[in-house]
């Protein structure tokens, strides 16, 4: 009961125009047939939007460390008539997805939850196609009294870039249309 309410609240926030949902999706330039991993899929708002855009020849992995959250997204996807979503339970330190399978890894408001981000993205890197991209959105630090600052639900953008570079990724695009949040896209350049 509480889980459902919480996930509905996450979806309301994720889909809100003030949170730039439409612009985020447009920036990702998703095409039919692509394979996307939504890391920390939460209530699944982005999972379902991606599934509609990649179509029947594409696939979306909804990845979360909480199996109950994945059950919620599974129910939502059934109701929406979407059959191109797979559900994967993540460990705190990583997730196993098929090697060289992903065009895009998307992680919104999840980075600050990762206790070992270098290990996590090093592990995920193997699942990315050579030309694949990683899009990371997270809250930045806020001044004063707020949920985000009290519970430290944010990551300095420098920390995100440093982590990704130490994992072999390079920053390829940065967007600044999300108030209070960073939105960066990385590509992997090292030899495999």
Give CA–CA dist 177/23, Å, rounded: 8
Question: Helix 45-54 and helix 67-79: axis angle, to 10°?
Answer: 50
Q: Which of 113, 119, 122, 142 binds ligand SAM (CB under 6 A)?
A: 113
Q: Which of 36, 37, 40, 127 binds ligand SAM (CB under 6 A)?
A: 40
Closer of 57 and 146 to ligand SAM (Cβ): 146
Pairing type for strands 59-64 and 128-139 reads: unpaired
65 is an interface residue for ligand SAM by CB under 6 A: yes
- Please return the burial class of 67, using the count of CB atoms within 10 Å of its CB with bins 0-12, 13-18 and 19+: exposed
Residue 163 interacts with ligand SAM (CB under 6 A)? no
Please tell me whether residue 108 binds ligand SAM under the rule CB under 6 A.
yes
Question: Does 37 sit near ligand SAM (CB under 6 A)?
Answer: no
Q: Which of 34, 109, 123, 181 binds ligand SAM (CB under 6 A)?
A: 109
Classify the C-alpha dihedral 23-28-29-31 as positive or negative: negative
Question: CB atoms < 10 A from the CB of 123, how many?
Answer: 18
Q: Return the residue matching tokens 């949040």.
A: 181
Among 35, 60, 62, 64, binds ligand SAM (CB under 6 A): 64
Residue 39 as a binder of ligand SAM (CB under 6 A): the answer is: yes
Contacting positions for ligand SAM (CB under 6 A) = 10, 14, 39-43, 45, 63-66, 69, 90, 92, 108-110, 113-114
């Amino acid at each position: 009961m509480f889980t459902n309410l919480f996930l509905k609240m996450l979806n309301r926030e994720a889909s809100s125009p003030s949170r730039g949902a439409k612009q985020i999706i447009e920036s990702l330039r998703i095409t039919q047939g692509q394979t996307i991993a939504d890391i920390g899929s939460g209530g699944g708002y982005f999972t379902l939007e991606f599934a509609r855009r990649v179509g029947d020849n594409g696939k979306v992995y909804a990845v979360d460390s909480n199996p109950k959250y994945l059950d919620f997204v599974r129910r939502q996807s059934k109701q929406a008539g979407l059959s191109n979503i797979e559900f994967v339970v993540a460990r705190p330190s990583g997730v196993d997805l098929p090697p060289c399978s992903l065009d895009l890894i998307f992680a919104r408001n999840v980075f600050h939850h990762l206790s070992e981000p270098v290990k996590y993205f090093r592990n995920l890197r193997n699942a990315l196609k050579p030309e694949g991209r990683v899009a990371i959105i997270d809250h930045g630090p806020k001044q004063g009294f707020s949920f985000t600052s009290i519970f430290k639900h944010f990551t300095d953008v420098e920390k995100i870039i440093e982590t990704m570079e130490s994992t072999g990724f390079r920053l390829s695009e940065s967007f600044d249309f999300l108030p209070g949040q960073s939105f960066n896209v990385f590509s992997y350049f090292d030899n495999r």
